[in-house]
């Protein structure tokens, strides 16, 4: 045993977290990636709950054709802030701020992120940006009301004069810089702080996906930041970048926004793909089926994602349709590779249906639906008549709800590593079924509504019998999702410090499960030898090494 | 200002690659698309224009692919879930990984499927976005929150907003060329029965041509969020026989825009108008 372990040269007690402040001051001043990551996690989940509450209001308004719950003006604020909170303040920060921050250094055997103070800065930027955006609700004109995509010139000082719009821009600038710093920090950490033996092709898939995500962040986010500064200048300094009157081009905003926005879709998705990959492998008791194929698929997705932005703009009539169509269709290929890899990993495994595994399978099925409906939208003639209808809304909600399922899987899977305590599995499974069934009940009627011609972002809609029924069913789904979220909160309360996790409760494979739960201040007292992408598994099961299919046939 | 470039033949320059492919593929593709008639509709209707029928068939074929692939993947997942459920907590399965032929298979087959889908897309897309020469031109102007339809050369203008949706009258079986503009923000011109939509962008004249083959009244609506009364920005397209169309043009020549709107729409008892909207409008 001992010859497989690199023991820390110094005594480990000296390194424990007893030095430095404690309590609230510790949370405010910390540069420990685990505490910052936990702050990120809590903030992002709070945003999920706020955004979810707004979604419930939207579904309540739409449950009848002529809802009176909110006014037209309030409805525009509702869906704008629902989308903005979910995309900018929940999914993104959760993907690359929360679990990534905690898990990536642990997975590569690093003591912390490469730039710990920088790491703290990005959390505070994120928090202040989030608060800035939410403050819009308390201004005289209300929060931003031009959709989360903010198409010019609806965002001009003429069309959206309120301070809510400025707070939206300010909030996005702050969280945008937070994201850019995240990209820098993740890349530096992954390139420079890997433990001895941790070569690039021994890094876990989750870490690989975060590396690719970080590169995409650096390519995409500065473009959004620049666009936001132009927009702010248009509103306040009299520039005319996006207004026709001064010789500007409104559709330029759409180009800038989607040049960020489409890579952003993968910036959001790749970390969750990584979570699902890790979870499925662990609970199948097998290595990832095509580890290298998975990595190349991730890189291919990232590369293609930079050339597909105008598929959001097919109906503008000012983009080259065939190019963006084939690029978008091609993304189905690496995505398909991932799906087959997940299935291949489960194949001939010993599947343990823990809550985390159920959430990951739920992710897989929901993402399959979102992916298949996405293929239609890559074909311009089919996009023309589904664009801006509920079909699109249903499509991307299938995708993002799949990400929520994966996020929940990630929390059930890695939560014990962070806190040292397991969550209750029975409540967890009930939460899974409500969330999974609720998601399908919520999205399926929306697909049909879109095909029947219901445009998105309508506060009231024509009194068709079908439309009312379909909307009502969808609202029931939203309620189920809401209850599942409450169950999650209940589970935290019920399980509070009740079920000690131990170091490696799932018989998992990667380095983070080699250290204690929660890990000590600088993460590791000792490291195993790293000779594959599964060092902890190799250490615990030296007789069960991975074998390639081809090798046993020869 | 920024007109979509038209080549001398009146076709979009962007369709050049597709045009060559189209010549090559028209014959087998026509058979393929026509045979789509016997497939289920997958929630979409044929529509009432020449293009909308083609789009419908494209939709059917995409759906066949999606259903087949979706069913296959779900079956694989389902099989794995049932067959490989853990029976013994301490059991460790064979740690097998990588299978090059299989990995190649699930890379190459999707590439072939994608190429087929792309070619099918081009076959439907190129005629749909081409702008053949035509005598009937309607200038459609979208504004917050209504529509103006003017018929250049005929001095006919129809305007209507929110509560009274204006009607665009067009002849059947004729190529109707639309010049689509916006006065203020981005709007979306969408007629469900056309299986088509197009943005009205400020500063851009967007052009498209449709050929409605069935007379009738079809509802249309703004699909792109355009501010407060986006939910109420409806219009109608009335497809009539060419003779009726000519007569309608004569009857409404030089009539003031408001009267023309009244003539055209006769202020339908609008089912979309809610008490809330009147209330909000009053505020």
**Angstrom distance (rounded) from CA A290 to CA A346:** 12
Name the residue among B114, B185, B277 with its Cβ closest to that of A332.
B114
Residue A147 has pLDDT above 50, yes or no: yes
Residue B266 banded pLDDT, cuts 50, 70, 90: very low
Average confidence (pLDDT) over A493-520: 94
**Angstrom distance (rounded) from CA A468 to CA B89:** 49
What's the pLDDT at B177?
95
Closest-CA distance of chain B to residue A60, Å: 16
**Residue A205 contacts residue A294 (beta carbons within 8 Å):** yes
Examine the domain organization and report whether B140 and B265 are in the same domain.
Answer: yes
Query: Could you report how far apart the first and last alpha carbons of chain B are, in Å?
Result: 36
Longest dimension (CA), chain A: 75
Last residue of a domain, one of B100, B129, B158: B129
Which H/E stretch holds residue A61?
Answer: helix A33-62
Strand-pair partners of B150: B139, B157
Pairing of strands B234-240, B216-222: antiparallel
Residue A9 lies in a domain: no
Nearest CA in chain B to A155: B185
Last residue of a domain, one of B88, B109, B129: B129
Residue A512 lies in a domain: yes
Residue for token pair 């692939």: B69
pLDDT tens readout for residues A180-210: 999 999 999 999 999 999 999 999 999 999 9
Could you tell me which of B29, B13, B43 has the C-alpha nearest to residue B195? B43
Examine the domain organization and report whether B114 and B142 are in the same domain.
Answer: no
Token digits of residue A514: 């080699």
Interface A–B counts its CB contacts (< 8 A) at 294
Average confidence (pLDDT) over A353-375: 97
ipTM score of complex: 0.92
Torsion of CA A102, A104, A109, A112, to 10 degrees: -50
pLDDT tens readout for residues A40-81: 999 999 999 999 999 999 999 999 998 899 999 999 999 999
Residue A206 lies in a domain: yes
Examine the domain organization and report whether B140 and B266 are in the same domain.
Answer: yes
Residue A282 has pLDDT above 80, yes or no: yes
Examine the domain organization and report whether B164 and B102 are in the same domain.
Answer: no
Strand-pair partners of B219: B236
Strand-pair partners of B207: B179
Name the residue among B86, B95, B276 with its Cβ closest to that of A545.
B95
Q: Which A residues in the span 448-467 are in contact with B, Cβ-Cβ below 8 Å? A: 448, 451-453, 455-463
Name the residue among A288, A368, A461 with its Cβ closest to that of B70.
A368
pLDDT tens readout for residues B231-248: 999 999 999 999 999 999
Q: How many domains does chain A have?
A: 1
Average confidence (pLDDT) over A434-456: 96
Averaged confidence pLDDT in chain A = 93
Examine the domain organization and report whether B165 and B200 are in the same domain.
Answer: yes
Residue A128 lies in a domain: yes
- What CATH code is carried by the domain that includes residue B261? 2.60.40.420
pTM: 0.90
How large is the angle between the packed helices A33-62 and A99-107, nearest 10 degrees?
A: 140
Residue A536 lies in a domain: no
Last residue of a domain, one of B129, B154, B188: B129
Range of the structural domain that residue B214 is part of: 136-270
Cis peptide before B145 (omega within 30 of 0): yes
List alpha helices for A352-424, DSSP H. 355-377, 380-386, 390-419
Task: Collect all residues of chain B within an 8 Å Cβ-Cβ radius of residue A349.
Answer: 80, 84, 93
Residue A543 lies in a domain: no
Residue B268 banded pLDDT, cuts 50, 70, 90: very low
Closest-CA distance of chain B to residue A40, Å: 33
What's the pLDDT at B155?
87
In this structure, of A10-14, B102-106, B262-266, the range with the lowest mean pLDDT score is: A10-14
Residue for token pair 């899987």: A409
Residue B21 banded pLDDT, cuts 50, 70, 90: low
pLDDT tens readout for residues A365-376: 999 999 999 999
- What CATH code is carried by the domain that includes residue A235? 1.20.210.10
Distance of CA A536 to the CA centre of its chain: 27
Are B86 and A317 an interchain contact pair (Cβ–Cβ within 8 Å)? Answer: no
**Angstrom distance (rounded) from CA A397 to CA A367:** 10
pLDDT tens readout for residues B119-147: 999 999 999 998 888 889 999 999 998 99
Examine the domain organization and report whether B266 and B144 are in the same domain.
Answer: yes
Sign of the Cα torsion A15, A497, A534, A270 reads: negative
Residue B277 lies in a domain: no
Residue B95 lies in a domain: yes
Are B194 and A332 an interchain contact pair (Cβ–Cβ within 8 Å)? Answer: no
Strand-pair partners of B198: B189
Distance of CA A214 to the CA centre of its chain: 13
A316 lies within 8 A of chain B by CB: yes
Residue B20 banded pLDDT, cuts 50, 70, 90: low
Residue A155 lies in a domain: yes
Q: How many domains does chain B have?
A: 2
Examine the domain organization and report whether B167 and B238 are in the same domain.
Answer: yes
């Amino acid at each position: 045993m001992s010859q497989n372990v690199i023991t820390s040269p110094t005594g480990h007690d000296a390194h424990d977290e007893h030095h430095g402040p404690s309590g609230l001051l510790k949370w405010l001043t910390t540069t420990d990636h685990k505490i910052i990551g936990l702050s990120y996690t809590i903030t992002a989940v709070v945003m999920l709950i706020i955004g979810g509450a707004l979604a419930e209001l939207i579904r309540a308004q739409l449950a009848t054709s002529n809802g009176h719950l909110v006014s037209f003006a309030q409805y525009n604020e509702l869906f704008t802030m629902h989308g903005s909170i979910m995309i900018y303040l929940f999914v993104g920060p959760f993907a690359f701020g929360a679990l990534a921050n905690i898990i990536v250094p642990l997975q590569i055997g690093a003591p912390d992120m490469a730039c710990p103070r920088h790491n703290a800065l990005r959390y505070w930027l994120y928090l202040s940006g989030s608060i800035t955006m939410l403050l819009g609700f308390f201004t005289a004109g209300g929060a931003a009301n031009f959709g989360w995509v903010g198409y010019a010139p609806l965002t001009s000082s003429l069309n959206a004069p309120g301070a809510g719009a400025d707070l939206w821009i300010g909030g996005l600038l702050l969280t945008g810089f937070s994201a850019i710093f995240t990209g820098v920090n993740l890349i530096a950490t992954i390139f420079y702080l890997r433990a001895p033996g941790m070569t690039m092709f021994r890094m876990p898939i989750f870490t690989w996906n975060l590396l690719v995500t970080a590169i995409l962040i650096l390519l995409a986010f500065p473009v959004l930041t620049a666009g936001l500064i132009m927009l702010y200048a248009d509103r306040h300094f009299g520039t005319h970048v996006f207004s026709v009157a001064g010789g500007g081009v409104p559709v330029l905003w759409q180009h800038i926004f989607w040049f960020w926005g489409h890579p952003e879709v993968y910036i959001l998705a790749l970390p969750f793909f990584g979570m699902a990959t890790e979870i499925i492998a662990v609970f199948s008791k097998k290595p990832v089926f095509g580890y290298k194929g998975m990595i190349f698929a991730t890189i291919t997705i990232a590369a293609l994602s930079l050339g597909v932005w105008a598929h959001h703009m097919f109906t503008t009539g000012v983009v080259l349709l065939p190019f963006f169509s084939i690029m978008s269709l091609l993304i189905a290929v690496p995505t398909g590779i991932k799906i087959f890899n997940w299935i291949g990993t489960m194949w001939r495994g010993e599947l343990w249906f823990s809550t985390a595994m159920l959430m990951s399978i739920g992710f897989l099925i929901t993402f399959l639906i979102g992916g298949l409906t996405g293929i239609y939208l890559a074909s311009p003639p089919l996009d023309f008549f589904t664009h801006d209808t509920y079909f699109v809304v249903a499509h991307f909600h299938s995708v993002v709800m799949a990400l929520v399922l994966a996020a929940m899987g990630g929390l059930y899977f890695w939560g014990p590593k962070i806190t040292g305590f397991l969550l209750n599995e029975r409540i967890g499974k009930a939460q899974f079924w409500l969330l999974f069934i609720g998601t399908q009940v919520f999205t399926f009627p929306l697909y049909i509504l879109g095909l029947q011609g219901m445009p998105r972002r309508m506060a009231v809609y024509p009194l068709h019998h079908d439309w009312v029924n379909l909307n009502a069913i969808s609202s029931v789904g939203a309620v189920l999702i809401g209850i599942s979220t409450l169950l999650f909160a209940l589970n935290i309360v019920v399980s509070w410090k009740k079920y000690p996790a131990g170091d490696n409760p799932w018989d998992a494979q990667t380095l983070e499960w080699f250290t204690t739960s929660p890990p000590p201040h600088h993460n590791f007292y000792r490291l195993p030898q790293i000779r594959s992408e599964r060092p902890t598994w190799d250490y615990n099961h030296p007789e069960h090494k991975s074998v390639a299919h081809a090798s046993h046939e020869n | 200002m920024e007109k979509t470039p038209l080549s001398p033949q009146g076709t979009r320059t962007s369709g050049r690659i597709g045009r060559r492919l189209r010549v090559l593929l028209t014959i087998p593709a026509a058979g393929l698309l026509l045979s789509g008639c016997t497939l289920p509709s997958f929630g979409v209707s044929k529509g009432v224009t020449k293009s909308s029928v083609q789009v419908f068939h494209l939709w059917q074929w995409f759906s066949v692919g999606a259903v087949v692939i979706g069913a296959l993947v779900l079956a694989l997942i389902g099989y794995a879930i049932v067959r490989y459920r853990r029976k013994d907590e301490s059991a460790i399965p064979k740690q097998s990984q990588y299978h090059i032929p299989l990995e190649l298979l699930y890379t190459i087959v999707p590439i072939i499927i994608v190429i087929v889908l792309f070619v099918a897309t081009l076959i439907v897309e190129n005629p749909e976005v081409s702008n053949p020469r035509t005598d009937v031109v309607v200038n459609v102007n979208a504004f917050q929150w209504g529509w103006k339809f003017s018929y250049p050369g005929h001095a006919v203008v129809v305007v209507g907003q929110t509560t009274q949706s204006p009607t665009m009258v067009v002849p059947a079986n004729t190529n109707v060329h639309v010049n689509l503009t916006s006065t203020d923000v981005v709007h979306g011109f969408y007629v469900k029965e056309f299986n088509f939509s197009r943005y009205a962008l400020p500063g851009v004249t967007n052009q498209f041509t449709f050929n409605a083959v069935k007379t009738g009244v079809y509802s249309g609506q703004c699909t792109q969020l355009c501010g407060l009364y986006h939910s109420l920005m409806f219009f109608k397209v009335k497809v009539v026989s060419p003779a009726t169309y000519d007569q309608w043009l004569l009857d409404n020549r030089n009539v003031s825009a408001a009267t023309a709107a009244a003539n055209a729409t006769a202020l339908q008892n609008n089912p979309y108008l809610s008490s809330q909207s009147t209330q909000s409008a009053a505020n």
